Chains A and B, each alone.
Chain A
Amino acid sequence: MKPFALPKPPKWLREVGWRTVAGGLLLGGIIHIVATLAVPLAGQGNAFAKLAQALPVNRMVILAPPSPGKEPLPFLTPDALYAICRYDISVDSLQVTAQLAHLGWTLSLHTPQGDNFYVMPAQPARRSDVVLTLIPGGDRVEFAPSQRRIGAPDTNIPSPSTEGLILVRAPLKGLAWRAEAEAILRRASCVPIKR
C-alpha cells in the first residue's frame, strides 16, 4: 500500500515567497479598511442623493405611494404614505410640525449618510402632535449613545449636518384610511425660522 502523500504544488506556486503573502495580506487589510470607510463618504447611491434632486429645500412634500417601478427607495415599506422634507439649516433654523395619528406612524430625522439621529413614534391609542425646532448641532460628540433620543420632549433638536431629510411615515390601515392619512400629512410642515 502506498503511503499517503500530499499533491505537489505547481512550480510557479513554489516561487511565491512568504513575504509576498504577508505583504499582500497587510495591504489587503488596509484596502479593506479604506474601502469600508470610504463607502459612506462616496454618497453616490445613498438615499439622500436619490431623493434630494426631486425635493424642494425646506418644504414638506407628500410622495406618491410606492408602486412597482416607482419606489422612492429600495425596501421601503410599501403600504404607507410618506411626507418628506429636505432640510438645509445653514442659514435659518427649521420648525417642524407633524401629527402622528396611529401606531406605526413615525417622524424621523436623518443625515445625508442615513444616520437617524432623532425619531418620534406615535403613541398607542392617541394622536401625538409634534413640534420641534431643528438647529445646527456641532460635531459628532452629540451622538454618544447616552444622548440619543427617542421621542424626547425637548423641542430643540441639534442636527449633526446642515442638510438632511425629515420623514413622516404614515402606514395605511387600508384604502379607506388613505384620505385621512393624506389630510394629516398635508398639515405636516418644515418652515425656516430666524435664529
Chain B
Amino acid sequence: MSLFSNIFINLAVFAAIALGGGLGSAWYMIEAGSRLSTRSFGPWTTWTAAGRPEADPYTRAHTVRNGLLPLASTLELTYRAKSDSRGGKINSACDYAIVMEGFDSAWWNLAAFDARGRLIHNPADRYAFSSDTVMRESDGRAIISLARDARPGNWLPIGGGSRVTLVLTIQDPALAAAVYDGASPKPLPPIERVACR
C-alpha cells in the first residue's frame, strides 16, 4: 500500500474517532443521559439535578437543547417513560394501566405526549390527570387507563398511531432529596400493558 493511501486511511480513522466518538458520545449523554445525570426506576427516568443552577453540564445541556423549563429538583421531580414495565415501547396501538398509590401527601401529575413533547389530539381534550383531578378507588388507589378508545374511569387518551412518552411529575421535596442523594425512594407505579390491537 502506498504512503499516500496509508496517510489517507489514518486521517480518515482519526477523524471518524474524533468527530463520531466525540459528538456521538456528547449527543448520547445529553439526550439519553447516563448514571452520572439520571436515575431510573423501572420504566421511569429522571434527571436528578434538573433545574438546579449547580446542575452538571449534561443536565444543563439537556434542559437547553430540549427547550425545557423545569422546576428545581429540590422541590419536584419529573420522570419520563417511553417504555412499559416489560420493556416494550409505549404506543397508541396498545392499552396500558397505571396504578397510583402511596403519593397521598404529594401533588402529582401524569401526562401523555408524543415523542417530541407535543400533546396528543383527542376529542375529549384530556391530556393529563393529577392528584386533584383523578378519581380514586375506595382504598385510595387511582387507576389510570391509557388507551386510544374511551374507557370507564380515569381514561387518558393516547390515540394517533405513534410513540407515546409519559411524564410523571411529583412535587415532594423529601422524595426529590432521596432520589438526588441516591437513596431508594418509594417505588414509582409500574406501567402495565393490558392489550394490543
- A residues bordering B, Cβ < 8 Å? 11-12, 15-17, 20-21, 23-25, 27-32, 35-37, 39-40, 42-43, 45-47, 49-50, 66-69, 71, 73-79, 102-104, 106, 108, 110-111, 113-117, 119, 121, 140, 143-145, 148, 150, 160, 165, 167, 171-174
Contacts and interface: CB of A to CB of B under 8 A. Distances in A.
13 contacts: A15-B9, A27-B18, A28-B18, A28-B21, A29-B22, A49-B67, A67-B125, A71-B118, A77-B169, A108-B71, A114-B70, A150-B72, A173-B133
B41 interface: no
B121 interface: yes
Given A32-B22, A106-B71, A148-B74, A78 B127 contact: yes
Contact of B64 (A12, A29, A46, A67): A46
A145 B49 CA distance: 11
Contacts of B22: 27-32, 35
Interface in B17-32: 17-23, 25-27, 29-30
Contacts of A39: 30, 60-61, 64-65
A45 B64 contact: yes
Question: Which of B29, B119, B129 has the most chain A CB atoms closer than 10 A to its own CB?
Answer: B119
Given A160-B53, A171-B109, A79 B130 contact: yes
A110 B171 CA distance: 18
Contacts of A78: 111, 119, 127-128
B116 interface: yes
Interface of B: 1, 5-6, 9-10, 13-23, 25-27, 29-30, 51-55, 57-58, 60-61, 63-72, 74-75, 78, 80, 107, 109, 111, 113, 116-121, 125, 127-133, 165, 167, 169, 171, 173
B108 to A, nearest CB: 9
Given A24-B14, A35-B22, A74-B68, A66 B173 contact: no
Nearest 6 pairs between A and B by C-beta?
Answer: A74-B117, A24-B17, A31-B22, A28-B22, A28-B21, A39-B61
Contacts of A121: 75, 171
A17 B65 contact: no
A76 B25 CA distance: 27
A67 B120 CA distance: 9
Contacts of B171: 103-104, 106, 121
Contact of B120 (A20, A68, A150): A68
B79 to A, nearest CB: 11
B78 to A, nearest CB: 8
A114 B118 contact: no
Given A68-B119, A113-B63, A114-B63, 5 more contacts: A31-B18, A50-B67, A77-B167, A116-B51, A143-B53
B10 A15 contact: yes
Nearest to B13: A16
A28 B26 CA distance: 10
Contacts of A73: 67-69, 117
Contacts of A29: 22
B9 A16 contact: yes
Contact of A144 (B10, B54, B55, B69): B54
Contacts of B72: 108, 116, 119, 148, 150
A115 B55 contact: yes
Nearest to A122: B107
B132 A102 contact: yes
Given A39-B64, A77-B128, A174 B133 contact: yes
Contacts of B78: 75
